Structure 1
Amino acid sequence: MHYDHLFPRGCCPSQTSERFTKFQRLPPEIRNMIWEYALPEARVYEVLDAPNSKRKTPAQEGLMFANVHPEPPPALAAVCRESRSLVLHHYKPLTLGKTTKFVDMARDILLLEPYLLVKRLHRALHFMSQIPLVRDNATRLALGTSYGIYPGIFHPVLGRKVSKNNMGKLLASLAKFPRLKTLIFIVHQEFQFEFDWRFPGTLTPMPNYSPLPPIAPNRIPVTTRQQQRLAVS
């Protein structure tokens, strides 16, 4: 069939009114809002201490990404010069070991590998506090409650007897990140329980033990782990 049979004269797709060609005429503030909406959702980057690393190891060599494949800036950076400028304003290159990924520290989440021992946990936090990009800009960290009570993490089921020394040490490590706003504690599959927060035989809720609100699953894609959020003031 000839092209004219599919698209009669005057109806060529390149000439339809559905194509928006006035983008550059929009005010810069509106264009920036559109680019902002096109940015990807917050992502999770799993970080752990490198094998054989010591406390005196250079920070960027002492840490590694669990996924060692490098990642370029989001595809939005390839649209035009304006979009690239906005993307690179948000996303900065973070090199751990031999891997570089572009990370938005204001939204992306750094997940500390859940099965680290206590010593390795504090070593990883120490390394992170030595990297200016992470130390000065990280707002969201995730920890696995598999760490248990020893690092100083309180949990109503996994353990209530938390050492004040351990809790103080953990808080001292977290205090090195001035912009940190949120900690996300991840309860692993083997530790999932259903709670009844009422007094036995009644419908009266127990004080100070109200369930935490659920988190939208598309915001933090961490497999099937149950998630709990604790805001840090």
Structure 2
Amino acid sequence: MALGHNVKSSSLDLLMEDHCPEELSTPAAAPDASQAAAMIINPNPKDWTESSKSLRRFKCFPKLPIELRLKIWDHALPDEHVIEVLWNETTWSFATDCAIPPALHACSESRTNMLRHYTCLEFNTSMLYEDDEPQADNCIFRTYIDFTTDILYLSYASCALERAGWNFRHFLTQLQEISPDLQHIAFDVLKPVDMVSSKLVKFKKLQTISLVFSDYFPKIGLVWQNPPKQHHQPITSHTLKYEEDLELLRYSPKGAGVDRKIDRNAGGELYRSLRRTLEFKGRMYSQTLIAQRMDKEIVDELKFKAIDVLRERKEFSKYKALQRKGKTVTTG
């Protein structure tokens, strides 16, 4: 059974209202269990006569069979995340601001169920370039990731270009030692292929390499020479497929999503430019990975996608204000 984004959010809001069972044992089913389940899965049926206020809390959830409760928790699973890896200039270490899925904190039952899908990545990423440089010991990178759907994004946004390659290679080296199960990774399209390809060889389960074509307002430091003119929204993923149309998947960190397509003719030069660049970079990555002795069967199955990241409007407003004053743009 597939649920829309709004239904997932509504279900999770209901379940986090302290209705979680303390134990995982199966309680006796309540007489109205089927209606209660329908309420969670479809919170706004047309034939209900009860007021909306009385339906904000669902106190019968602990009385549902455990099999049904676990299915409901599965429907609370978020869609794919872009987990952005950020470089901290103060501590000289990596971190991320990607939100932890709320169901991991709802109750012990939801957490147990969520951990069937999510893995906690936790390792020390701090490093030292020069003895006199600032350094914080034991700076831990920590996030929860679903390897089957989530994309790990190592961006230029948080790191000066001249040392980006060294930093990313260090991060990937640490990551492959802790968890080689990474399946989806993203880089800026400007990043030289050989900068990171040697560190991808050990990820035997790698399925997609996404290229970020226009991260218009990075969170730290780097800003594109030509600022964007269109309206800015939260993080956005545009997925380029090899079919006739360019399919765009838009989503925010909160999980709301809207699907739309751009026709190959209506998209015009944008469509053709994206396709040419993606196919060219895809060939370069494939050839380089094979040269680095990655299994050819893995390389042949790799998919290459295009991602377009748009930052929030408040970030763009801050950038424009600093630009008018002629100041260096740095955001936190």
- TM-score (norm. length: structure 2): 0.40
User: 2:111: which partner in 1?
Assistant: 84
Match of 1:21, as an amino acid? C
Greater Cα shift, 102-111 or 137-146: 102-111
User: 1:141: which partner in 2?
Assistant: 185
User: 1:182: which partner in 2?
Assistant: 208
Please give the secondary structure, in 2, of the residue aligned with 1:85.
helix
User: How far apart are residue 213 of structure 1 and its match?
Assistant: 3.4
Change (3 A) 1:146 1:219: same
Match of 2:302, as an amino acid? V
Q: Is contact 1:105-1:134 (8 Å) kept?
A: no
User: How far apart are residue 128 of structure 1 and its match?
Assistant: 1.9
1:35 aligns with 2:73: yes
Distance 1:132 1:181 in 2: 15
Q: Is contact 2:96-2:142 (8 Å) kept?
A: no
Please give the secondary structure, in 2, of the residue aligned with 1:136.
coil
User: 2:60: which partner in 1?
Assistant: 21
Distance 2:53 2:250 in 1: 39
User: 2:95: which partner in 1?
Assistant: 65
Segments of 5+ residues of structure 2 without an aligned counterpart are 1-49, 127-138, 217-225, 229-241, 255-270, 283-300, 304-332
User: 2:145: which partner in 1?
Assistant: 104
Q: State the percentage of identical aligned residues.
A: 19
Change (3 A) 1:124 1:170: closer
Segments of 5+ residues of structure 1 without an aligned counterpart are 1-10, 53-60, 153-165, 193-208
Q: Is contact 1:129-1:176 (8 Å) kept?
A: no
Please give the secondary structure, in 1, of the residue aligned with 2:103.
helix
Match of 2:206, as an amino acid? L
CA offsets, 1:22-75, max 9 Å, x none? 5544253x43332121022222222255559xxxxxxxx8641264xx95x432
Q: How many residues align?
A: 172
The RMSD of aligned alpha carbons is: 4.4
Please give the secondary structure, in 2, of the residue aligned with 1:143.
strand
Match of 1:42, as an amino acid? E
Distance 1:145 1:130 in 2: 23
Distance 1:220 1:183 in 2: 20
1:114 aligns with 2:140: no
User: 1:215: which partner in 2?
Assistant: 248
Please give the secondary structure, in 2, of the residue aligned with 1:172.
helix
Distance 2:199 2:140 in 1: 25
Match of 2:65, as an amino acid? L
